[in-house]
Structure 1
Amino acid sequence: MLTDVEFVAHFSPELGQDYRVAKSYVTDVPTQALLQIRSLTHKLTELLALPMGITFDSPNLYDRIETLNSRRVINVRVTRAMHKLRGDGNRGAHPEKYHLTSEQLQQLSEKSIERLLSLIESLFVQVTGKSLPKYHFEAFDSLAGRDLCYRAVMESDPQAQYLVGMSLKTRALMQREQELALGDEHDGKGSELGSSSETLKKAEYWFGLASTSEMDARYEYGVAKIHGYSGEPDVIAGEEAIAQAAAAGVVNAMALLGYFYLVGGKSLAVDRDKALDYLQRAADLEQSEAMANLGVLYYQEGALTQAYQFIAKAAQAGFPHAQYHLALMLARGEGCEVDPLGSEQWMAEAAELGQIDAMFSRAQSMLNDDNAFGTDLSQAELYLREVIKYGHSVPAMIELSIALADGVLGRIDVVGSASLLKLAREHGNEHELSVISPLWDSLSQQVENVIAVTKNKAELVALKRAQELLA
């Protein structure tokens, strides 16, 4: 019986090699595994198009999948499966932006491998013309990371050094997300705070070693210098390294250099033509943030049709910030026809992927609009808590406090409501405090009124605690 790696190699020798590499990264470099799977999915579109004589007009993976669907090369189920792999890869590129923990990232990479195998099973007969063979899945190799570290340390392999750096960077950024949330809950005194800084120092070290010959590492080394992974930032050195990587064709470097020329850097003056050139070159290679920034550039210049086109491409590529802005443009009819349903759908997708503003918008719609798309009060509460945790949003604190006090979520929780109002008052600006003040008085009065009449001991304990919080 074949192993899963041999099974994919029977489907396509090239994809089999890519699958083997992706699987080897799952345990120790899951973000790289997800990026490898996305790249494999891109190659799969070529494999499916070739025998049908289809030539793609765009390198954009979303467009390619939709082209295959519209030409009936793949059915709806396969289309959805390929889009799911595309989305997994996008989350792997920036796991910290999706608020993923290390455990969740590894689980996602394992699940993505399962999805890929299932997809290849469904396409095997169509692509090879042979019957589907039996195979068994071999467990993920827990020794792959050791081999990677051996090559990085003992053989000074630049690619291995780069991947070690990427593993450390990904871990550090996810640690930083958790630290910020924990620090807010404990007034900045969480016991785990600071571990991300040490991990970032290690990441910069490995990027520095690899950067002499590995251009992807040169880009990451530049980012590390700009953000001061090892202490004080060195922005000029970082910008120079990123420019060198961009000149070598590193797509993320081209996207970031284009952004620097768009807004200006320490050693780089604002230059619209250079910004447009680098962003367009990165966008042509399907770099989602470059597409989004091109959209921003054209939006600021009032070229709304062009802005819409690029923001839509970035949204389709799975970039949640672009999905949020696309939802706003569709709601307003900016550069496009007004499309309320399309707007709600993109807002829902951005929220599902953890975009803070989209989560807040969706929660408000779910709580306050009976006709909202996909109303789910438990999901609304989850979104608000995520926005408070990661976005430290006072409006979200107020919204959730009101919902808990009024029983909108199916229960009344005056302690939770009072805690949120107290937190909001500690963080609110002048305008927000003017909103909080009458809510504070109203909740205080509500608590006093119920205390005066209740005979339930448990309820009385909760009410007294709420009263203490509001004192």
Structure 2
Amino acid sequence: MLTDVDLVTQFSAELGHDYGIAKSYVKDVPTQALLLLRSLTHKLTDLLAESKGVTFTGPNLYDRIETLNNKRVIDVRITRALHRLRGDGNRGAHPEKYHLTAEQLQQLSEKSIEKLLKLIESLFKQVTGESLPQYKFEPFDLLVGRDLCYRAVMQGEAEAQYLVGMSLKTRALMQQEQELALEASNDEESTQLNLSSDTLAKAQYWFSLAAARNMNAMHEHGVALIHGYNGEADVVAGERAIALSAQAGVANAMALLGYFYLVGSETVTIDLDKAQEHLQGAAELEQSEAMANLGVLFYQQGDLLQANDFISQAAKAGFPHAQYHLALMLAKGEGTEIDLLASEHWMKEAAEQGQLDAMFSRAQAILNDDDSTSAELALAESYLREVIKYGHSVPAMIELSIALADGMLNKIDVVGSAALLKLAKERANSEELAVIEPLWNSLLQQVENVLFVATKNEELAALERAKELLSD
């Protein structure tokens, strides 16, 4: 009987090769697996377009999927499946920005393999003209990590050293995100060792070994030097490494060098022409942050049409910050006509991908809508808690405190409300304190009034605790 790799190879030899590599990375290098799956999805759109004589106007994966849908090459179900794989790839590129843990990242890569396989099943007859054969799914193996380490250590292979470094870097950034969240919440777990620092130092070691022979590693080595992964930053050497990598055509390095020219850095003087040149080069390679920064460049120059165009491209490429800013531009009619429905779509998209400003905006919109369902209210609470945890946002603390005190989330939690208001007061600036003071007094009065008539022991204990928090 065929294996799943055999099945995908029968569907397309090139996709089968890529699928086998992506699957092998799932357990040990899940980030690389997700990036390969996104690339595979890109190739799949080429295959589908070729079968129907459809041509694309550009490399943007979002546009390609929508073109296939509009040309009726694929139905709505397939369209959604392709977009889900595109989104998984975006999360794989920067898992720390989506607040993923190492376990969640691995689960995401496993589910993405399963999604792709289901998609191949659905498209098999359409593409090959043959009936779907029987096959068995072979379990994920744990050998690739050992193989990578062998190739990196014993054979000194630059690509393997780079991938080991990327695996360590990804793990470190996710650890760092969790450590910062725990530290900010004064959680007891925050007393654990700072694991991210050690992991970043190991990542820098592997990048430094591979840098001279692998330009992707040279870029990562430069980033490591700038940020001092090993505890000691060398910004000048780091920026030189970035420039070398950019000259070699590495998209991420071109995007970063373009950003340096946009805002200035240790070794780079602001030069908007050079910024545009490098950002444009990276954007042509579908580097989403470069697209977004090109939009920023044109926005600063007052060219709203160009700004909207590039920010739209970055949004469609899956960059959450661009999606948030596109939502704002659509709401204001900057570089385009006002389109509140499209604005809401991109705000939702950005929020779903963990962009904190978008999550806060969506939560506010849900709480201000009298027709919000219970599921939507639960989502609003979840968003606010995420913004508080990862963004330490005082406005979000205030918003959630009000919602809990007023029963806007289909429950009243005066202890939770008081705790949030206390935390907000500790972190607030003068303007925020002016907002908190009347809320504080009002909640304290509310608690005292209910205490006067409460009779149940559990309710009395909660009210006393809330009063204690508000009396400090």
Superposed pair shares fold, TM > 0.5: yes
Which string of whole-angstrom CA distances, capped at 9 and with x for unpartnered residues, describes residues 122-152 of structure 1? 1111111122111110000112111111111
Q: Is the 8 A contact 1:348 1:362 kept in 2?
A: yes
What aligned pairs does 1:234-273 form with structure 2 within 5 A after superposition?
234-273=234-273
Aligned: 1:89 with 2:89: yes
User: Aligned partners of 1:372 and 1:451: how far apart in 2?
Assistant: 31
**Offset, 1:371:** 5.7
Identity of counterpart residues, as a percentage? 71
- Range 126-135 or range 164-173, more displaced: 126-135
User: Aligned partners of 1:409 and 1:374: how far apart in 2?
Assistant: 8
Question: For residue 415 of structure 1, what is the amino acid of its counterpart?
Answer: V
Q: Is the 8 A contact 1:26 1:140 kept in 2?
A: yes
- Range 163-172 or range 361-370, more displaced: 361-370
1:317 corresponding residue in structure 2: 317
1:146 corresponding residue in structure 2: 146
User: Aligned partners of 1:372 and 1:185: how far apart in 2?
Assistant: 29
Q: Is the 8 A contact 1:60 1:285 kept in 2?
A: no
What aligned pairs does 1:167-246 form with structure 2 within 5 A after superposition?
167-186=167-186, 190-246=190-246
User: Aligned partners of 2:183 and 2:333: how far apart in 1?
Assistant: 40
Aligned: 1:467 with 2:456: no
**Offset, 1:279:** 0.6
Paired residue total: 471
User: Aligned partners of 1:131 and 1:53: how far apart in 2?
Assistant: 23
**Gap change, CA 1:434 and 1:187, over 3 Å in 2:** farther
Which string of whole-angstrom CA distances, capped at 9 and with x for unpartnered residues, describes residues 188-220 of structure 1? 981225110110000000111111101111110
Q: Is the 8 A contact 1:366 1:375 kept in 2?
A: no
Question: For residue 259 of structure 2, what is the amino acid of its counterpart?
Answer: Y
1:440 corresponding residue in structure 2: 440
User: Aligned partners of 2:15 and 2:358: how far apart in 1?
Assistant: 36
**Gap change, CA 1:393 and 1:4, over 3 Å in 2:** same
Alpha-carbon RMSD across the aligned residues, in angstroms, is 1.4
**Offset, 1:233:** 1.3
Q: Is the 8 A contact 1:261 1:270 kept in 2?
A: yes
2:104 corresponding residue in structure 1: 104
**Offset, 1:232:** 2.1
Q: Is the 8 A contact 1:152 1:158 kept in 2?
A: yes
User: Aligned partners of 2:325 and 2:63: how far apart in 1?
Assistant: 20
User: Aligned partners of 1:370 and 1:356: how far apart in 2?
Assistant: 23
**Gap change, CA 1:178 and 1:214, over 3 Å in 2:** same
User: Aligned partners of 2:386 and 2:187: how far apart in 1?
Assistant: 18
User: Aligned partners of 1:380 and 1:308: how far apart in 2?
Assistant: 28
User: Aligned partners of 1:379 and 1:231: how far apart in 2?
Assistant: 39
1:43 corresponding residue in structure 2: 43
User: Aligned partners of 1:134 and 1:96: how far apart in 2?
Assistant: 38
Matched position secondary structure for 1:203? helix
User: Aligned partners of 2:397 and 2:288: how far apart in 1?
Assistant: 31
**Offset, 1:37:** 0.4
Q: Is the 8 A contact 1:183 1:193 kept in 2?
A: no
Aligned: 1:348 with 2:324: no
1:133 corresponding residue in structure 2: 133
Stretches of structure 1 that go unaligned for 5 or more consecutive residues are: none
Q: Is the 8 A contact 1:365 1:372 kept in 2?
A: no
**Offset, 1:348:** 0.8
Which string of whole-angstrom CA distances, capped at 9 and with x for unpartnered residues, describes residues 339-365 of structure 1? 111111111111111000000001011
Matched position secondary structure for 2:131? coil
User: Aligned partners of 1:308 and 1:458: how far apart in 2?
Assistant: 55
Q: Is the 8 A contact 1:165 1:204 kept in 2?
A: yes
Question: For residue 276 of structure 2, what is the amino acid of its counterpart?
Answer: L
TM-score, with length taken from structure 1:
0.98
User: Aligned partners of 2:339 and 2:144: how far apart in 1?
Assistant: 49
2:78 corresponding residue in structure 1: 78
Question: For residue 152 of structure 2, what is the amino acid of its counterpart?
Answer: A
User: Aligned partners of 2:54 and 2:443: how far apart in 1?
Assistant: 64
User: Aligned partners of 1:50 and 1:130: how far apart in 2?
Assistant: 18
Question: For residue 360 of structure 1, what is the amino acid of its counterpart?
Answer: F
1:395 corresponding residue in structure 2: 395
What aligned pairs does 1:270-281 form with structure 2 within 5 A after superposition?
270-281=270-281
User: Aligned partners of 1:373 and 1:464: how far apart in 2?
Assistant: 32
2:5 corresponding residue in structure 1: 5
User: Aligned partners of 1:150 and 1:329: how far apart in 2?
Assistant: 50
Aligned: 1:23 with 2:49: no
User: Aligned partners of 2:122 and 2:189: how far apart in 1?
Assistant: 51
Task: State the 4+ residue runs in structure 1 displaced beyond 3 angstroms.
Answer: 371-375
Stretches of structure 2 that go unaligned for 5 or more consecutive residues are: none
Question: For residue 296 of structure 2, what is the amino acid of its counterpart?
Answer: V
Aligned: 1:378 with 2:375: no
User: Aligned partners of 2:369 and 2:130: how far apart in 1?
Assistant: 53
User: Aligned partners of 1:374 and 1:440: how far apart in 2?
Assistant: 27
2:55 corresponding residue in structure 1: 55
User: Aligned partners of 1:443 and 1:72: how far apart in 2?
Assistant: 57
1:409 corresponding residue in structure 2: 409
Matched position secondary structure for 1:57? coil
Aligned: 1:336 with 2:327: no
- Range 379-388 or range 139-148, more displaced: 139-148
Which string of whole-angstrom CA distances, capped at 9 and with x for unpartnered residues, describes residues 403-454 of structure 1? 1111111111111011001100100000001111111111111111111111
